[in-house]
Amino acid sequence: MRRAFLIAAREYRQVTSTRGFWVLLLALPLALGLSQIAGRWIKPEATAAYVLADASGRYGPAIQQRLAIDYQRGVLSDLVSYVRRWARGPGTGALWDSGPRGFDDQEVEAFLAAGGLPHALGQIAPRLAPGAPAFHADQPEYLSAADKLAPVDQGPAAFGAAVTPRIGEKVMTSAGPRRLSVAIYIPKAFGPAGPPARVWVRANPDADLVKVLRTELSGALRLEALSASGVPPAEFARIAGVNAPLSITIPLKDHTPTQLLERSILPLAMAYLLLITVMTTGGMMLQGLIEERSNKLLESVLACVTPSELMYGKLLGLGGVGLTTVLAWVACAAAALAIPGEVSDFLRPALQSAANPWMAFALIFYFFTGYAIVSAIYLAIGSLCDSIQDAQAYLVPVVMVIMLPILFMMMSVVRDPASALPHILSWIPLYTPFAMLVRLGGGISWTEAVGTGALLLAFMALEVVAVGRIFQVSLLRTGQPPKLGALSASIIRPGSD
Amino acid sequence: MNVLALDHVVKRFGDFTAVDDLSFSVPEGGIFGFLGGNGAGKTTSLRMALDIIRPTQGRITVLGRAPGRENDALIGFLPEERGLYRRMGVLDTVIYFGRLKGMSVSAARKASEALIDKLGLGAWAAQTVDRLSKGMSQKVQLATALVNAPRLLILDEPFSGLDPVNQGVLEDLIRDSARGGATVVFSTHVMQHAERLCDRLLLLSRGRKVFEGTLAQGAQVLPRRLSVTSRADPSGLPGVAAVRATGDTKNGWRDWEVDLLAGQDPADLLQACTDGAFPLRRFQTREPSLHDIFLHLVGADQERRS
* Residue ranges covered by each domain of chain A: 2-37+255-492, 44-249
Greater model confidence, B61 or A1: B61
Q: Is A296 on the interface with B (CB under 8 A)?
A: yes
pLDDT band at B10 (very low <50, low <70, confident <90, very high): very high
A238 touches chain B (CB under 8 A): no
Given this model, what pLDDT does residue B23 score? 92
> Is pLDDT larger for residue A94 or for residue A184?
A184
Residue B43 scores a pLDDT above 60: yes
pLDDT on residue A8 = 92
**Minimal CA separation from B226 to chain A, in Å:** 46
Q: Count the alpha carbons within 13 Å of A9 in the hemisphere toward its beta carbon.
A: 9
Q: Residue B243 is part of which domain span?
A: 223-287
Mean pLDDT across B82-109: 91
Indicate the SS3 state at residue A159.
Answer: helix
Distance from C-alpha of A368 to C-alpha of A362, rounded to nearest angstrom: 10
Rounded to 5 degrees, φ, ψ at B13 are: -115, 100
Whole-number percent of chain A with pLDDT over 70: 85
Residues of chain B with C-beta less than 8 angstroms from the C-beta of A294: 83
Residue A495 has pLDDT above 60, yes or no: no
Report the C-alpha dihedral over residues A85, A89, A93, A98, rounded to 10 degrees.
20
Residue B94 lies in a domain: no
Residues B130-156 have a mean pLDDT of 89
Greatest mean pLDDT among A195-199, A246-250, A351-355: A195-199
The answer to whether residue B50 scores a pLDDT higher than 60 is yes
| Chain B positions touching chain A (beta carbons under 8 Å) | 13-14, 47, 50, 52-54, 69, 72, 75, 77-79, 81-88, 96-97, 99-101, 141, 144
- Whether A399 and chain B come into contact, CB under 8 Å, resolves to no
Residues of A in contact with B101 (CB under 8 A): 304
Instruction: Give the mutation candidate from A300, A309, A312 for the B interface (greatest B CB count, under 10 A).
Output: A300
**Please, which residues bridge with residue B257 across strands?**
B227, B244
For range B31-39, the mean pLDDT:
87
pLDDT confidence of residue A347 = 67
Choose between A495 and A52: higher pLDDT: A52
pLDDT of amino acid A497? 47
Q: ipTM exceeding 0.85?
A: no
pLDDT (mean) for B77-96: 88
pLDDT band at B114 (very low <50, low <70, confident <90, very high): very high
Domain total in chain B: 1
Please indicate whether, in this complex, the C-beta atoms of A305 and B54 are within 8 angstroms of each other: no
pLDDT beyond 90 at A205: no
Better-predicted residue by pLDDT, B296 or A479: B296
Residue A43 confidence class, pLDDT cut points 50, 70, 90:
low
pLDDT at A28 over 70: yes
Q: Do B79 and A299 touch (CB under 8 A)?
A: yes
pLDDT tens-digit profile of A300-314? Answer: 888 888 888 888 898
Any domain includes B148: no
Q: How far is CA B70 from CA A143, A404, B108, in A?
A: 82, 46, 18
Residue in chain B lying closest to A305 (CA): B69
Residues of B in contact with A301 (CB under 8 A): 100
Residue A455 reports pLDDT greater than 60: yes
Q: Tell me the C-alpha distance between B278 and A213, whole Å.
A: 141
Instruction: Check CB contact under 8 Å for A300 and B144.
Output: yes
The CATH number given to whatever domain includes residue B255 is 3.30.70.260
**Integer CA distances (angstroms), A321 to A76, A291, B92, B275, in order:** 48, 19, 20, 87
Q: What is the pLDDT of residue A293?
A: 78
Cβ–Cβ of B99/A6 closer than 8 Å? yes
Interval A326-358: pLDDT, tens: 888 878 877 777 776 666 666 666 666 666 777
| Mean pLDDT across chain A | 80
Q: Do B100 and A291 touch (CB under 8 A)?
A: no
Let me know if residue B238 belongs to a domain. yes
The full 3-state SS of B209-225, as one line of letters, equals EEEEECHHHHHHHCCCE
Q: Do B72 and A306 touch (CB under 8 A)?
A: no
CB atoms within 10 A of CB A339: 12
For residue range A354-397, what is the model confidence (pLDDT) as tens digits? 667 777 788 888 888 888 888 888 888 888 887 888 888 888 88
For residue B195, what pLDDT is reported? Answer: 86
pLDDT for A486 beyond 80: no
Residue B271 has pLDDT above 90, yes or no: yes
CA angle A400, A402, A406 (to 5 degrees): 105
Q: Does A486 touch chain B if contact means CB atoms closer than 8 Å?
A: no
Q: What is the mean pLDDT of chain B?
A: 88
